[in-house]
């Protein structure tokens, strides 16, 4: 497994680690990783994340360090967090799939309506920031073209600028919607990784509930609801039930 090098841009974080010191921390973590000192690399990467800075490559490197330390749950958790920020990164996808081969449970995904699948895949093509920037740029282009339509007296130019402005307005609105949906996917934290070795899922949020099925550590679940110390989860095959909140960790 390889680590990823990344450039730190301008950002706002806690006063403890800023600017050049942050870059130094990343370099230190990477050197620990390449030197085989994975526990030290984990400590450095976790410290950076704890300061408020997030990046797909950082989660990816942390996932690799946990994987090398034989901490499969934490590796999958951080690969999942990385894929949220960079959904088309082949390295992250490959390592996430590799880690998944070591989990006990192999669950078939419930078929989804194809339009919903297409929409989700399209939204995940780019980041929230990219969709937002595209929305702004195309909206400005719309305003320019519509202004041309209003103030130019040549019929062909007016007709062309009007319809082209409508196209750019449609793209702008669509990109805004995609940006909003992508942000929801990243920030809602409605998915989790099972951390307990073995979990018996119940029919109700209490110990006396009927045992429905058993799942094992490393599996990804969707969070449906919560009540007290219990969380209702849903598997990718559609099965639902309740388990103790302490048995999972939100992505």
Q: What is the pLDDT of residues 210-223, one digit of tens each?
A: 999 999 999 999 99
61-92, pLDDT tens digit by residue? 999 999 999 999 999 999 999 998 888 889 99
pLDDT for the residue numbered 212: 96
Burial of 196: CB neighbours in 10 Å, binned 0-12, 13-18, 19+: middle
pLDDT digits (tens, 9 = 90+) for 172-204: 999 999 999 888 877 777 899 999 999 999 999
| Every domain of the chain and the residues it spans | 19-100, 114-187, 191-250
Q: Model's pTM, two decimal places?
A: 0.73
Identify the pLDDT of residue 195: 96
Q: How far apart are CA 97 and CA 133, in angstroms?
A: 31
CATH topology classification for 191-250: SH3 type barrels. (2.30.30)
Rounded CA-CA distance 27/148 in Å is: 52
CATH number of 19-100: 1.25.40.10
d(CA 116, CA 138): 25
Establish whether domains 19-100 and 191-250 are of one fold: no
Q: What percent of the chain has pLDDT over 70?
A: 91
How confident is the model at residue 110, as a pLDDT?
Answer: 65
């Amino acid at each position: 497994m390889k680590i990823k090098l990344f450039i730190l841009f301008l950002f706002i974080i806690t006063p403890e680690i800023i600017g050049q010191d942050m870059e130094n921390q990343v370099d230190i973590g990477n050197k620990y990783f390449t030197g085989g000192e994975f526990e030290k690399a984990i400590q450095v990467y976790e410290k950076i994340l704890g300061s408020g800075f997030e990046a797909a490559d950082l989660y990816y490197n942390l996932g690799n360090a946990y994987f090398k330390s034989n901490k499969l749950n934490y590796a999958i958790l951080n690969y999942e967090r990385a894929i949220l920020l960079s959904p088309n990164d082949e390295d992250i996808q490959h390592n996430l799939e590799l880690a998944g081969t070591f989990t006990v449970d192999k669950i078939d995904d419930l078929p989804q309506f194809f339009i919903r699948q297409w929409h989700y895949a399209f939204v995940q093509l780019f980041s929230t920031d990219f969709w937002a920037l595209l929305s702004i740029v195309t909206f400005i282009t719309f305003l320019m073209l519509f202004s041309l339509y209003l103030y130019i007296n040549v019929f062909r130019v007016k007709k062309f600028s009007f319809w082209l402005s409508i196209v750019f307005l449609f793209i702008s609105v669509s990109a805004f919607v995609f940006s909003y949906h992508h942000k929801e996917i990243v920030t809602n934290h409605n998915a989790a990784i099972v951390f307990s070795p073995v979990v018996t899922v119940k029919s109700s949020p209490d110990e006396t509930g009927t045992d429905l099925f058993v799942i094992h550590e490393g599996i990804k679940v969707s969070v449906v609801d919560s009540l007290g110390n219990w969380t209702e989860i849903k598997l990718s095959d559609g099965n639902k039930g309740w388990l103790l909140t302490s048995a999972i960790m939100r992505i």
